[in-house]
Chains A and B, each alone.
Chain A
């Protein structure tokens, strides 16, 4: 079953603007993670937020988690052209042994 569902599917912004991506999931999770994928490449881990956390920051990244709504958001501040990529959320099951990914948000940042 699909654990993560990102929204929007595609997002185009100008350099310097903020980008916000949302993720909804269906079942209880142990943690939720965001990954980035450049075209044709592997996924790179960005940030992890545990089910008992509400917000986390890492550099220009800010992630929130609302377990009551089963949703998360990823904010990239002051975006750069190099942020152009697909971004995926993934929920870890209760055993923490499997990450199930959503369909991803494709972010395009133009200079």
Chain B
């Protein structure tokens, strides 16, 4: 089964610092997603990315956040000037073909102190 790989698995940062979370998607899957899950809470949609452009984003995905494909394969989520409430698990996901099924990575745990 192909895998979505996320790094780092855990990052601790100081409030106000910038954080970059990375995702290596399954090759040839064109839709990418970022989700966030605050500990013990629901999985929240942040943004979907298709063909190198944002296709949809939620209210959570404000100017503090940005997504990029810096080298055509990796996929990053940047959080500028982190806040305490940004502490969460961040999941990257790929869409499987036309089924709508998502393949999730294992997540990156972000702790903002």
How would residues 30 to 48 of chain B score, 1 for a CB under 8 Å from any chain A CB and 0 otherwise?
0101010000011111001
* B43 contact set on A, CB distance < 8 A: 37, 43, 88, 90, 101, 104
Give chain A interface residues in 34-68, CB to chain B under 8 Å. 35, 37, 40-45, 48
Main secondary structure on B side of the interface with A: strand
Give chain B interface residues in 87-113, CB to chain A under 8 Å. 89, 91, 93, 95-96, 99-107
Q: Does the CB pair B42–A104 fall under 8 Å?
A: yes
Q: Does the CB pair A45–B48 fall under 8 Å?
A: no
Give chain B interface residues in 7-31, CB to chain A under 8 Å. 31
* B104 contact set on A, CB distance < 8 A: 35, 42-44
Contact partner of B42 (CB less than 8 A), chosen from A2, A30, A41, is A2
Interface size class of A (residues with CB under 8 A): 20 to 34
Give chain A interface residues in 52-107, CB to chain B under 8 Å. 88, 90, 92-93, 95-104
Q: Does the CB pair A48–B42 fall under 8 Å?
A: no
Confirm or deny: B53 has a beta carbon within 8 angstroms of a beta carbon on chain A: no
* A103 contact set on B, CB distance < 8 A: 41-42
Chain A residue, CB-CB nearest to B98: A96
Task: Assess A42 versus B56: contact at CB under 8 Å? Given A31-B100, A97-B48, A101-B42.
Answer: no
Confirm or deny: A33 has a beta carbon within 8 angstroms of a beta carbon on chain B: yes
Task: Assess A98 versus B48: contact at CB under 8 Å? Given A41-B106, A48-B99.
Answer: yes
Contact partner of A99 (CB less than 8 A), chosen from B4, B42, B55, B102, is B102
Offer 23 A-B interface pairs, CB within 8 angstroms, sorted by A. A30-B100, A31-B100, A33-B102, A35-B104, A40-B89, A41-B107, A42-B104, A42-B107, A44-B104, A45-B96, A45-B101, A88-B42, A90-B43, A92-B100, A96-B100, A97-B31, A97-B95, A98-B33, A99-B100, A101-B35, A101-B43, A103-B41, A103-B42
B contacts, CB < 8 Å to A: 4, 31, 33, 35, 41-45, 48, 50, 55-56, 89, 91, 93, 95-96, 99-107
